[in-house]
Structure 1
């Protein structure tokens, strides 16, 4: 039995644990993550056959709409002092629907300051998790599929038991999980029937209204390339995104002079189920490989290297995206059932923005640290 179970070791989940430790919270904590390590959408692909190979196949930077203030600024400063976070001022360019280089589009992820993890984006989540201290037990490679609440204790997969629960993503609370994972019921709704906790009822209703945003990220290994005059990110204009089904390309120079390339592919609306996903992965891989040949034409060195590229597969990313507003901040912590939420989908935080993931974690930590979870 632990005081708090946190599901998801992404940026917000790890930041929550770090923030609780800084606030002096002494409760025991269990972190559960389906992936092989911390990172979430800031995860990093590592090669078993090459220790120096690093490929950030999710978000390439931490993006902010404006300069961080207050507690958030202190958090960023601590990560910079630990040398796991550095300002990102690498070149960003645009490509239009004709495959020609243009100015980068006016996009919220490019509107404010950006930082990148060093040596990898996953290093940021790893550092935050380390700040959580020894009271945090982390288990990776474990997907939670069933939740049960008996009125005082949360039971996860029947194996883990906690007095309070935090979801750093929406998968266990959003109807999209039904098709994607082949479940019959939304796990959080099944654990707490309607009418038991009005605050949670309202939260689940708002979460159900969030749109599922999906990316199909193709990872490529290119031969030795001089990346001196190449951009870091190549963003497609709106018209180009519609034509090619690609949001952006991100270049990852390697220590051995080879080049990693991640193609952030857009979703085409096909229903994702356990049975359909293998074919969808194969099809998106083929479509994205075909598309990038036109997108890198402004850079002959990339066009030449692409002929020798080796595919490392496609990674599917899913996240909740607010259509108008995210989950109301006053529903981030449901006192009666002791369940909380954090992530960039919380109201007013900005989907896809690191400030949203981090600030929501700081806000939730304040509420949890002021509660009496460990005493109940």
Structure 2
């Protein structure tokens, strides 16, 4: 057995910000962070390729979005990352697209209402930097999808023989019923680990998490050949293209994001919406193919305002589809008063905690800073 003070499940933005803050505060001497992916990032992850060392594609969130200028501890964190060159303002052109495939005003969306920063050189660099700040106080276990939790004699037992005094979930997968069908699990791991009545705060938190809606995205990743500007087009190449509500319903796409690559190439990510089909271990392979074909079919009409990009599509190389899933609080996010459950020594952080709103970087980061302060 390897004993640590804290185990964090999920090396996304909030999980990495948490271990960074705890190390800075000298709260814990030893921590371990588990991540199902091959590296830190979560929904701010970056796709790399073995056959092209220069290729980098941010296939999740393209920016860190805030509702306003970050203040207090959050402002200090963002300022520090900017000073270190890890974050830079994202000023790339953003366009709106209506149901007829024509340019229009940007749709109203929280991610477009405030300042945005972009990770340098990639979005994953933000989580990587925060995790590195924790130094040798944190062990990392990548490629480790946890499907079972055990709590015995006041210790959390985890894969690999790890035992932790405190457990933090930076996502809801181990606490939300969506995991039962999606991953074929027999029960909700966190609920089965701690019986009802042991920790009233945890009971209340799990009841709220259970009614959160599962938000799913199917993100298609493409490599476009070298594209030069179209002299007959007055529209500069976009950084992001956001679809109006009408266009989203018609195309099943939320937005498109372009990424400049070496040699004039472009990376394109199509953020596809879910169509409600049941996601299970046996259906996922077919669903990945279905959404790849569906998104490829609608792309030409979405790029009509940019003829050069549209003309490059026949030479595009598909890099596959990445499925993203998260519990989205539609009516009530998890209150900060339930972010820490002391009897079971379980904490939560992420953009689903009450604060700036789902999908906002400030919510993910602020929740980590708040929990770190509670655990001091």
TM over 0.5: yes
Q: Distance in 1 between matches of 2:90 and 2:272?
A: 23
What aligned pairs does 1:130-141 form with structure 2 within 5 A after superposition? 130-141=132-143
The residue that corresponds to 1:372 in the other structure is none
Cα distance, 1:346 vs structure 2: 0.2
Question: Is it true that 1:66 corresponds to 2:68 in the alignment?
Answer: yes
What aligned pairs does 1:1-376 form with structure 2 within 5 A after superposition? 1-157=3-159, 159-226=161-228, 229-369=236-376
Q: How many residues align?
A: 369
Higher mean Cα deviation, 26-35 or 61-70?
26-35
Cα distance, 1:368 vs structure 2: 1.2
Higher mean Cα deviation, 108-117 or 344-353?
344-353
Cα distance, 1:123 vs structure 2: 0.3
- Contact in 1 for aligned 2:218/2:272 (Cα 8 Å): yes
- Contact in 2 for aligned 1:96/1:236 (Cα 8 Å): yes
The residue that corresponds to 1:374 in the other structure is none
TM-score by length of 1: 0.97
Cα distance, 1:26 vs structure 2: 3.5
Higher mean Cα deviation, 224-233 or 41-50?
224-233
Q: Distance in 1 between matches of 2:345 and 2:198?
A: 12
Alignment RMSD (CA, Å): 1.0
Residues 254-275 of structure 1 show CA distances to partners (whole Å, capped at 9, x for unaligned) of 0221110000000011110000
- Contact in 2 for aligned 1:227/1:253 (Cα 8 Å): no
- Contact in 2 for aligned 1:349/1:360 (Cα 8 Å): no
Q: Distance in 2 between matches of 1:142 and 1:173?
A: 17
Residues 50-96 of structure 1 show CA distances to partners (whole Å, capped at 9, x for unaligned) of 11111000000000001000000000011111111001111100111
Cα distance, 1:307 vs structure 2: 1.3
Q: Distance in 2 between matches of 1:19 and 1:49?
A: 36
Q: Distance in 1 between matches of 2:136 and 2:161?
A: 21
Q: Distance in 2 between matches of 1:118 and 1:256?
A: 19
TM-score by length of 2: 0.97
Cα distance, 1:225 vs structure 2: 1.0
Secondary structure of the residue aligned to 1:239 is helix
Structure 2 residue ranges without an equivalent (≥5): 231-235
- Contact in 2 for aligned 1:145/1:157 (Cα 8 Å): no
Cα distance, 1:357 vs structure 2: 0.1
| Structure 1 residue ranges (4+ consecutive) displaced by more than 6 angstroms after TM superposition | none
Secondary structure of the residue aligned to 2:354 is coil
Q: Distance in 1 between matches of 2:62 and 2:93?
A: 13
Cα distance, 1:227 vs structure 2: 5.9
Q: Distance in 2 between matches of 1:13 and 1:105?
A: 31
Q: Distance in 2 between matches of 1:88 and 1:98?
A: 28
Cα distance, 1:158 vs structure 2: 6.5
